[in-house]
Each structure stands twice: as C-alpha cells, then as structure tokens.
Structure 1
C-alpha cells in the first residue's frame, strides 16, 4: 500500500514536471501533492493496462517500482485528459 502511494506520487511529480502548462500548474502545497498522487495512481493503472495487458511487456504487478516508466507515461496520458475534464466543467483550478 505504501509502495503504491509512493509510486503514484513519484510518477505524478515526474510527469507534471515533464508536461509544460498542465491545468494544475497553479496549485501549491498539499493540494498539489494530492493531485500529483491521484494523477500518478491513475497513470500507473493506465501504464499497466497499456504495457502489460495490451503489449505484454513487463510483470504482472500493478504498483511495482519496475513499472515506473510505464506509470510516468500513463500519467502523461492522464494529465491532459484530466485537464480537459476540468476545463469542460468550467471549474477553475484551486490553489
């Protein structure tokens, strides 16, 4: 459980650093950490689905540190989708 949270947080932070101009860039403090964690966990699931289920690459552990690259790539897919939903709801990012 703690490993999954750490993986999600690291994947979320790295992906947000690599994605310039994401919809969550104005956030700061604990809210930014929670958003990074949530995006990272969702990205880890997306990365697992793409690489392990569809392509057959990697092991069968979803939240494993060996899948950090897939989790970051999955998070980079999730960030624009989450930003699109945020803009579609016309909700300004808090922070």
Structure 2
C-alpha cells in the first residue's frame, strides 16, 4: 500500500468511524481516537470483504462497500462500548 492509500484509508476511516458511532443508539463511553481507530480498521476490513464479494469496484459510488464498512464500525463501537461498561 502506498502513502496515498494509507492517507485515504485514514480519512475514510475517520468518516466510517463517526458514521458507525452515529448508527449505534445511546451514549458511547469510548473516546474519539478509539472511534477513529475502529473506523480505520472497519474501512480496511470492509474493503477486503467487499473485494472478496466482488462489489468493491463498481461504476459510481460503492454503496455496498460503504454499508459493509459502516456496519463493521458500528459493531466495533458497540462491542468496545460494552467492554467499557463492564469496568
């Protein structure tokens, strides 16, 4: 992965993390940096899954890839929030 791919993954990860946090109902007890980290990881894993399903490179906006990434980010934020609630 080149530097422009890494930078774009970080920027997309920030957006994905914030959108994933908005999807989860209620108040989350994780910080913004952890949300961004979850978003970056969800963006990378979601891209990998979308490529495996052959829905990553389509004409126009890749809505299915975005939905996969946002769903993964929401799952990550919700699971981290639950682990923070137990402490």
Q: Do both share a fold (TM > 0.5)?
A: yes
Distance, in Å, in 2 between the alignment partners of 1:81 and 1:12 is 9
Q: Return the offset for 1:57.
A: 1.1
Q: Return the offset for 1:72.
A: 5.2
Q: Aligned residue for 1:57?
A: 55
Aligned residues between the structures: 79
RMSD: 3.1
Residues 1-95 of structure 1 mapped to structure 2, 5 A cutoff: 1-21=6-26, 25-27=28-30, 31-32=31-32, 34-53=33-52, 55-59=53-57, 70-71=65-66, 73-80=68-75, 83-84=78-79, 87=82, 92=87
| Structure 2: tracts of 5 or more residues without a match | 1-5
Distance, in Å, in 1 between the alignment partners of 2:29 and 2:49 is 30
Give TM-score, length-normalised by structure 2: 0.61
Distance, in Å, in 1 between the alignment partners of 2:77 and 2:19 is 16
User: What CA deviation, in whole Å up to 9, does each residue of 1:24-48 have, x standing for no partner?
Assistant: x124xxx42x112111111112211
Give TM-score, length-normalised by structure 1: 0.57
